[in-house]
Amino acid sequence: MELSWLNWLYTAVAAVITWIHQGYSTFLAEDSGLNWALTIITLTVLMRLLIFPLFMKQMRSSRKMQELAPRVQELRKKYKNDKQRMNQEVMRVYQEGGANPLGGCLPLVAQFPIFISMFTVLNAMAHGDPKFGMSQELVDSARSAHIFGAPIPATFFTSDADIIKLGADPVISKIVLVIFVAISSLTTFLTVRQSVQRSMAQMPDNPMVQQQKILMYISPLFAVFSLNFPLGLILYWVTTNLWTLGQQHWFYSRHPMPTFDAKGNVIEPEPKPGLITKLRSRGKADVEVEQDAPPSPEPKVVRQQPTRQSRSKRTGTKKT
C-alpha cells in the first residue's frame, strides 16, 4: 500500500520512530519488545495530539448540530414529502448556525495518511528493507524485538519458517496476534458505539439511525482485516482506539447534551463549580450564618471590691 506521493510522510514517520527509539534506548535495551512497544505507543500519542484540534472542531460542530436539532426536526416534518427541499432547508440551517455535518470525518481523514505511513514503514521493517532514511541497525532491531513472544513485524499469515527466522515460536506468535486482533475488534466496536449512541440521542429522528446501527455492529469485522497487518501496526490501532474512547468520554462528560424549553431554545446548564468556587461559596455561607445568628450576650464583668475590714484591723488594735 505504498503511495509514492506520500514518500515525504513515510520519511517523516520513520524519522520520528528513530528519534523515539533512540530516546528509549538510553535506559532500555535496543532490541527489547518493551522499547519498541513504547516507541509505537508514544508515536501514536504524538499523532493524536497533532490532530487534537481537528477533534475539537468536530466536537464543536457536533455541539452546534445538537442545538439546531429542534429546528431541523421541524423542517423534516414540514417538508417530509419533498426530500430535495428538506435537504436544502436543513443545509441552510446548518450553514447559518455554523455547523458542518461532515465535520465528524475530519479526524478519520487525517488519520488515514498516518495509518498508511505506519503500515508502509513497518512493512519495510518486516522485509528487512532500510527505506525512508532508516538505518539497517534500526530495521534489524525492530525485526528482533518481540511483544509477548511475537515478533513486531510478523502477521497472522506470516509463514512458520519466517517466524522461526525472527527467533519466535509460531504457535505463540499466532496466539498473541489473535488476542491483539480481538482487542482491536472490541475497541473498534466500543469507539463506534460511543459515537453512534451520542448521535442517536442528539437526533432521534435522523433517517441515518438504522445505517449507524448497522455500522456499529459491522465495525468489528473490519478489524479482522488486521490479521494481515504487522503486530506493531495492530498495537498502533489498539492504542488509537483507546485514546479515542478516553478523549470522547472526556468531552462528553464536560459537555452534556443540551436541553430545550417549550419554544425550542437551548437551556444552558449551570457550570459545575470548581474547588475554589465551592470554598468561596462555603465561606460566604458561613459568614451569612454568623450574621444571621443572634448576637451572643456580652459576658458580665464582675469587679472585685475590696472587703470592708473591721475597725480593729484597720487600726491594728485588738478587738475586745
Residue 282 covered by a domain: no
The answer to whether 125 and 134 have CB atoms below 8 angstroms apart is: yes
Task: Look at the block and give the residue holding cell 417538508.
Answer: 79
> Residue 112's pLDDT is what?
81
pLDDT at 166: 85
| pLDDT at site 109 | 73
Residue 171's domain comprises: 4-255
Q: Is residue 57 part of a domain?
A: yes
* Amino acid symbol at 214: I
Does 210 map to a domain? yes
Q: Tell me if 145 is assigned to some domain.
A: yes
Q: Could you tell me if residue 313 is inside a domain?
A: no
User: Residue 228 domain-assigned?
Assistant: yes
Does some domain include residue 295? Answer: no
**Following CA atoms 121, 122, 125, 130 in sequence, which dihedral angle do they give, to the nearest 10 degrees?**
10
pLDDT per residue as tens, the chain (320 positions): 556 777 888 999 999 999 999 999 999 999 899 999 999 999 999 988 888 887 777 777 777 777 777 777 787 787 777 777 777 777 787 777 766 666 556 666 777 888 888 888 888 887 888 888 899 999 999 888 999 999 998 888 888 998 898 889 999 999 999 999 999 888 888 887 877 776 666 555 555 556 666 777 777 777 677 888 889 889 988 998 899 889 888 877 876 665 554 544 555 555 455 444 554 555 554 444 445 555 555 555 555 555 555 555 545 555 44
The pLDDT of residue 281 is 54
d(CA 178, CA 187): 14
Count the domains in the chain: 1
Enter the pTM of the model: 0.69
Cα atoms in the Cβ-side hemisphere of radius 13 Å centred on 296? 3
